[in-house]
Structure 1
Amino acid sequence: MNHEDYVQSVHGQIVKTAMAMQSGEMSYLLGARKLDALRHEASVKNDDEDFMVFVAIASDTDDFPLGTVREYWDKDALAKLQPEIDAAETWAREHSEHICAKLIRRFS
């Protein structure tokens, strides 16, 4: 696979992630983390405006246990933190849902 093909595959991952976020298959918090990571391999500028909201979301919520790491957390600690995670998820969706649509159009 040459570099151009690799970048195209990364663009496909961006579209898939954004679509999963919009459909509810992936949380906006996890999706933001994934999109933040993918932007480094997508041949876009570091300050690309379509990715900056995901950088901010990932940065602001990086202390939340998401995904499989939750298995290693105490259930009571998770229960106490869950309202804050839920509020952050709502905030992330409200601020990035329209950007997901933009990424889908841009990289499809």
Structure 2
Amino acid sequence: AAALVETGSRMDEVIFEEFKGTGNMELKLDRKLSEKRIFPAVDVDASGTRKEEILMAGDELQIIWKLRRVLHALDQQQAIELLLDKMKQTKSNTEFLLQIQKTTPTPGNGGD
């Protein structure tokens, strides 16, 4: 299901809240990013997959969590631009995750 939120309509918000807990994934788009012509205009912090730990291997999950910590420290525009830049540099999910693993500091090794 898709829902339009932040419309000012209380009914839209009520419907959204009803659906919110039932989906497997939530992808939140950001109007400010789209107004700046940044596409896809994804709010990285507010988007995610439920139960991702059963969808991915443990090593992949650790890299994704590390990436999220880095993206969370940035403002929305910086986060999506960094993510898009890293994605453009790779040709597959595996290559993307390996690139993230190599370029992201690890806690205890001079990182966050």
Whether TM-score is above 0.5 comes out as no
Query: Greater helix share, 1 or 2?
Result: 1
User: Which has the bigger relative contact order, CA under 8 A and spacing at least 6?
Assistant: 1
Q: Name the TM-score, length of structure 2 as normaliser.
A: 0.31
Q: Name the TM-score, length of structure 1 as normaliser.
A: 0.32
